[in-house]
Amino acid sequence: MDYVVEMLKIRKEFPGVVANDDITLQLKQGEIHALLGENGAGKSTLMSILFGLYQPDQGVIKVRGQEVNIADPNVANTLGIGMVHQHFKLVHNFTVTENIMLGMEMTKGIVIDHRAAAKKIQQLSEKYGLNVDPNAKIEDISVGMQQRVEIMKMLYRDAEVLIFDEPTSVLTPQEVNDLMEIMRNLVQEGKSIILITHKLKEIKAIAHRCTVIRRGRMIGTVEVGSTSEEKMAQMMVGREISFEVEKEDREAGAVVLKVDNLSALNNRKVMGLKDFSLEVRSGEILGLAGVDGNGQNELVEVITGLRKAESGQVMLKGTDITNLSIRERIRMGMAYIPADRHKHGLILDYSIEENMILKNYNQEPYAEKGLLNQEAIQEHTGRVMAEFDVRSGQGSIALARSLSGGNQQKAIVGREIDSDPDLLIAVQPTRGLDVGAIEYIHKRIVEQRDKGKAVLLVSLELDEILSLSDRIAVITNGELIGIVEAKETNEQEIGLMMAGVQRGETA
């Protein structure tokens, strides 16, 4: 067999954890090989070893049959191994060409030969169907285009093996399709691809083979064509997983949140939210779909009071709350699971106990006459941790920083739901979590809806929106494109709306 890359019996230990144990991954020439696993399963460690960032404790790496020692990323580069990182590493005020040649500039005498570089980029662009304008500035092009620049960077360096790290997490559904087309072109031209992902659909759509790892151990390598999604999910998680969120039909009740012609500035001081109107009723989940950075944050921050409204109104249970303080809104029954759990959701240097009372530390029974009541806080924390399955090695006094991402998120979800709100705003509630934790958090959110709470769900994951929501609102460029019934729509329609196409405009 001719394998381009072979990682054989790789073992890597960090103090206290075995990140990779006896993992073998063999990449054939011209195949797309998926690497599937939950967060923390050891995917990144394995790829970091291949890319030269870590040295394996045991095991062998072979490239084109030759045993190699990849001491650092430069060695990986010369071996033709390139990586498209999840977070792009681009200079924003440089052009595409400048970014691509950064670090290996072509020179003519002592000046940089932009023209020759641009020409090579143009050629590569045409060969692989990338459609990149070499002279555009990074800050002016879309995220999908930026990703292509990253891909181009590797091709420019003559990479033969390309590692894609969760490449679709930042893309719209249409951009995902384009990316898959590009990946197909790449393998047709003889490149080989390792695709790191936890999205089974994508694996099914594009990969040839799939290696599954779980908790640092290799579960197996399967042919994608003859393996079902359920089977792969089961391999990944180690038990059966239901993809369908169980949800009974339910009549929505009274309007809990009403947003009227709301406009707000974004961080760059231009209108990020324009004349936005929305209603969320009790007993329903309203999903807000949209590509990242299209006004979702502005909307949520105005509703929660973190951002000032320029015009328009926010009503909670019939009361105008547009100018109320954040705390007053919280007291009125608004709970908010923020997108960024490290920036907004938790104080990482506080213990779990202290984080659990973040919003009601000055209320009885947690505080009396300005003094904290440790016992009440401890008891409360213990109860929420038990109810929401927050696991920590040192119990409730562990620093929030020491928890895993999933447990941090469960702690936030627990704190917010436990406050028994009338309105629950959940932004990206499952970002970066593994399948098990996602399933759990989804269940708790649906449970809130069934209890008659109003839920506003903001997510970049279309699957999440589609499976949880009763109604779906789509936001583009700060404007409401439309609201559809979740039962009567599909990914295609929402995807088009996300791209700014009004409903009914397409054939």
Partner 1 sequence: MKRKELGNEYTTALIAVGLGLLAGALLMLVTGNNPILGFIYLFSGGLMNIERIGNTLATATPLIFTGLSVAFAFKTGLFNIGGAGQMLIGGLCATVVGLTFAWPKPLLLPVVILAAALGGALWGLVPGLLKAKFNVHEVVCAIMMNWIAYWSVYYIIPGYFKGPYLETESRRISAAASLKVEWLTKLFNGSYINLGFFLALAVVIIIAYILDRTTLGYELKAVGFNRYASEYAGIKAERNIILSMVIAGACAGLGGASFYVGYASNMQIGVLPSQGFDGMAVSLLGANSPWGVFLAAIFFGILHSGKGFMNAMTHVPPEIADTIIATIIYFSATSVLIEKYRARIRKRRLEKGRTDLPLDTGAGLDETVGGEG
Copy the structure tokens of residue 53: 């960032």
Say which DSSP state 167 is in. Answer: G
Tell me which of 30, 57, 174, 255 binds partner 1, using CB under 8 A. 57
Question: Rule CB under 8 A: is residue 119 a binding residue for partner 1?
Answer: no
Question: Rule CB under 8 A: is residue 345 a binding residue for partner 1?
Answer: yes
DSSP string, 414-462: HHHHHT--SEEEEESTTTT--HHHHHHHHHHHHHHHHTT-EEEEEES-H
C-alpha dihedral (235, 239, 243, 244), degrees to nearest 10: 160
Tell me which of 266, 350, 404, 431 binds partner 1, using CB under 8 A. 350
Closer Cβ to partner 1, 354 or 470, answer by number: 354
Question: Rule CB under 8 A: is residue 330 a binding residue for partner 1?
Answer: yes
Give, as ranges, the residues between 271 and 310 that touch partner 1 (CB under 8 A).
Answer: 304, 306
Closer Cβ to partner 1, 22 or 133, answer by number: 22
DSSP string, 248-304: ------SEEEEEEEEEEE-TTSSEEEEEEEEEEETT-EEEEE--TTSSHHHHHHHHH
Question: Rule CB under 8 A: is residue 67 a binding residue for partner 1?
Answer: yes
Please give the size of the binding site for partner 1, defined by CB under 8 A.
49
| From 279-287, 290-298, 366-374, 490-498, span contacting partner 1 (CB under 8 A) | 366-374
Closer Cβ to partner 1, 87 or 343, answer by number: 343
Task: Identify the helix (H) or strand (E) that includes residue 27.
Answer: strand 17-28
37 within 8 A of 236, measured Cβ to Cβ:
yes
Give, as ranges, the residues between 168 and 227 that touch partner 1 (CB under 8 A).
Answer: 221
Closer Cβ to partner 1, 11 or 137, answer by number: 11
Tell me which of 89, 327, 443, 451 binds partner 1, using CB under 8 A. 327
Closer Cβ to partner 1, 124 or 187, answer by number: 187
| From 42-50, 188-196, 253-261, 352-360, span contacting partner 1 (CB under 8 A) | 352-360
Tell me which of 110, 111, 270, 371 binds partner 1, using CB under 8 A. 371
Residues 6+ away with beta carbon under 8 Å from 449: 247, 250, 283, 284, 285, 455, 470
Question: Rule CB under 8 A: is residue 325 a binding residue for partner 1?
Answer: yes
DSSP string, 371-420: EE-HHHHHHHHHHHHHHTT---TTGGGSBGGGS-HHHHHHHHHHHHHHT-
Tell me which of 372, 376, 483, 501 binds partner 1, using CB under 8 A. 372
Closer Cβ to partner 1, 349 or 420, answer by number: 349
Peptide bond into 365 cis (omega under 30): yes
Output the CA angle 89-344-437, nearest 5 degrees: 80
Question: Rule CB under 8 A: is residue 64 a binding residue for partner 1?
Answer: no
Question: Rule CB under 8 A: is residue 94 a binding residue for partner 1?
Answer: no
DSSP string, 190-256: T-EEEEEES-HHHHHHH-SEEEEEETTEEEEEEEGGGS-HHHHHHHHHSS----SPP-------SEE
Q: Which of 208, 188, 173 is nearest to 34 (CA)?
A: 208
Question: Rule CB under 8 A: is residue 24 a binding residue for partner 1?
Answer: yes
| From 247-255, 277-285, 345-353, 427-435, span contacting partner 1 (CB under 8 A) | 345-353
Q: How far is the CB of 414 from partner 1 (least distance, A)?
A: 15
Q: How far is the CB of 266 from partner 1 (least distance, A)?
A: 16
Binding mask 384-403 for partner 1 (x = CB under 8 A): ----------x--xxx----
Question: Rule CB under 8 A: is residue 362 a binding residue for partner 1?
Answer: yes
Q: How far is the CB of 304 from partner 1 (least distance, A)?
A: 8
Closer Cβ to partner 1, 57 or 275, answer by number: 57
Closer Cβ to partner 1, 30 or 482, answer by number: 30
Tell me which of 164, 276, 336, 388 binds partner 1, using CB under 8 A. 336
Q: Residue 304's beta-bridge partner residues?
A: none
Tell me how far apart the terminal alpha carbons of the chain are, to the nearest angstrom.
Answer: 48
Q: How far is the CB of 340 from partner 1 (least distance, A)?
A: 8
Question: How many residues are given for the chain?
Answer: 507
Q: Which of 241, 211, 215, 243 is nearest to 224 (CA)?
A: 211
247 within 8 A of 263, measured Cβ to Cβ:
no
Q: How far is CA 145 from CA 18, 138, 192, in A?
A: 37, 9, 21
Closer Cβ to partner 1, 274 or 329, answer by number: 329
Tell me which of 182, 241, 265, 347 binds partner 1, using CB under 8 A. 347
Phi, psi of 255 (to 5 degrees): -70, 125
Site residues, partner 1 (CB under 8 A): 1, 3, 8-9, 11, 15-16, 24, 26, 56-60, 62, 67, 221, 304, 306, 325-330, 336, 338, 343-351, 354, 358-359, 361-362, 367, 370-372, 394, 397-399
